[in-house]
Amino acid sequence: MEEFKGPRWWFYNMSNTGQALFDTLFMAFYASFLLPPAEKISEGMIQFISDKTFFGVLTILGLLMIFGRLVDAFADPLIASLSDRSTSKFGRRRVFLMAGGFPLAFFTVMIFFPPVGSTSIFNAIYLAIIFGLFFFFYTIYVAPYLALIPELGHTEKQRLNITTVQGYFALLGGGIALIGGPLLYDMLKKPFGPVGAFQIMAVIMGGIGVLFLYLAVFAVDEKRFSDAKPSTIPFWESVKITLNNKIFLIFLITNMTFWFIFNTVRSSVIHITLTLLKGTEGDASLYNTLFFAGSGLFFIINWFLSKKLNKKTLMLLGLGSFACVSLLLSLTGLAIIPIDPKVWGLTLFALCGFPVAIFLVLPNVFVSEICDVDFKKTGERREGMYFGVHGFFVKVTLGLSAAALAFFYSAFGKDITNPLGVRLTIVAAAVVVLIGLIVFLRYPVLNEEKKTPVSSA
């Protein structure tokens, strides 16, 4: 077995740019495109789906996200098991990367092309199909991609290097979408109108993203760089073994709370800019620039902190800091804050980079570590299932966070004259991540050599 290094190592990690670009393009713009603020409708945007509330808590947009995330969630363990047990001559992970890349790009773009140019139930039906297909092919690509981390990185140091570099490329992909997206929109808005600007921007982003996705396909030769063998454990038995791992469950619950708050803040940037900061979509590009620049800076700081602190302590710092910064962000624009709202917003978005940098690197290292513990017990390499079950619950969490966002926006307001829903969404997310912090206190510190618990403090 050869050591995975050189240009192939870089190409594999660079593919994380593509999946992060598509994920961010979707999550950052779907709400503002499909359900724009009233002020933007008067400028030419279209409300493609109804914003009415059903049974007091449900909205069309929330139901669409829950449906899409359920498709994604149930696909995660299924694809994971198929990947673990695959005997394809192209490699048990690589064949899925080949199959998932182009459809993922296509269905991301199609989110921005509803068939009816007004509020319509037909748009809701169309979007339900597109959301489901987007999330399905996202899983086909991402779950096997992540399962390669512990197979290509054979030591914790190698895995930490992989996940750190992947974190930088995730920032690049997110930055292309969050910074380049609004800039393209502003450039295209005048000649093509606001809806056309969104659509052309999505097509351009799709073309860039798909090129990154296929770098990993050409880079990874599993026969040369991995000695992992196909698993023989049936699907349901594999799921059961995974969910009975108590250490994994503690980590899983904690990581779910991070994704709840991260998705909430990421999806709220444009509405925070428009309603609390009284800015424009172009201004959102500046805030996103600081958000990602802050993350890049904190990658370096966190690397030094990792020399002094163990992984558990860094995770706890990430959870606590994200809760504090989010609570402060919810106060943006209020009279009790004696600081210019723009300065306040710029500072807090930059500080969000600290927890984001931690969670772009460490979770996949934790899962890889847990896979090693499992291998010592079962004799089976089931990286796909662990990443798949992890993905299942994260996707459910993302759907719930999106539904919560839609509920708060619809029930309490999302406009400049009434932004209470925007504030409450961020507060709710901060409460959720504090729960995750409490749960993670029970995660044991593992012996790095033997991969056995040595304490829970």
* Predicted local confidence at residue 295, as pLDDT: 78
* Alpha-carbon span 263 to 226, nearest angstrom: 33
Per-residue pLDDT tens over the stretch 138-168: 989 998 998 888 888 877 778 878 888 888 8
Q: Structure pTM?
A: 0.74
- Residue 185 tokens, joined: 């929109």
* Alpha-carbon span 23 to 145, nearest angstrom: 15
* Alpha-carbon span 230 to 244, nearest angstrom: 22
On whether the CB atoms of residues 12 and 215 are closer than 8 A, the answer is yes
- Residue 333 tokens, joined: 């624009």
Backbone angles phi, psi at 315, to 5 degrees: -65, -45
User: How many helices (H) does the chain have, and how many strands (E)?
Assistant: 19, 4
Check residue 140 and report its DSSP letter. H
On whether the CB atoms of residues 405 and 425 are closer than 8 A, the answer is yes
List the beta bridge partners of residue 54. Answer: 58
* Predicted local confidence at residue 327, as pLDDT: 92
Q: Which candidate, 41, 68, 64, places its Cα nearest to that of 54?
A: 64
* Alpha-carbon span 100 to 374, nearest angstrom: 28
Per-residue pLDDT tens over the stretch 31-44: 888 888 777 788 88
Burial 89-122 (b: 16+ CB within 10 A, else e): ebbbbbbbbbbbbebbbebbbbbbebeeeebbee
CATH no. of 7-455: 1.20.1250.20
List the beta bridge partners of residue 415. Answer: 418
Backbone angles phi, psi at 379, to 5 degrees: 75, 10
* Alpha-carbon span 364 to 358, nearest angstrom: 11
Q: Which candidate, 143, 197, 123, places its Cα nearest to that of 364?
A: 143
* Predicted local confidence at residue 167, as pLDDT: 82
* Alpha-carbon span 187 to 200, nearest angstrom: 11
The per-residue pLDDT string of the chain (457 residues; one tens digit each, 9 = 90 and over) reads 677 788 899 999 999 999 999 998 988 888 888 888 777 788 888 888 887 777 666 788 888 888 887 888 788 888 888 888 877 778 788 899 999 999 999 999 999 999 998 888 999 999 999 999 999 999 899 989 988 888 888 777 788 788 888 888 988 898 898 888 888 988 998 899 989 999 999 999 999 999 999 999 988 877 776 766 767 778 888 888 888 889 999 999 999 999 999 888 888 888 888 788 777 766 777 777 777 777 778 888 887 887 788 888 999 999 999 999 999 988 887 878 878 888 888 888 889 889 988 887 888 888 888 887 888 887 777 888 888 888 788 878 877 888 888 888 877 877 777 888 888 998 999 999 999 999 999 998 765 544 444 343 3
Chain centre distance of CA 147: 16
* Alpha-carbon span 189 to 36, nearest angstrom: 15
On whether the CB atoms of residues 280 and 265 are closer than 8 A, the answer is no
List the beta bridge partners of residue 453. Answer: 446
Task: Show the CA angle centred on residue 101, arms to residues 88 and 173, nearest 5°.
Answer: 130
- Residue 68 tokens, joined: 């899409």
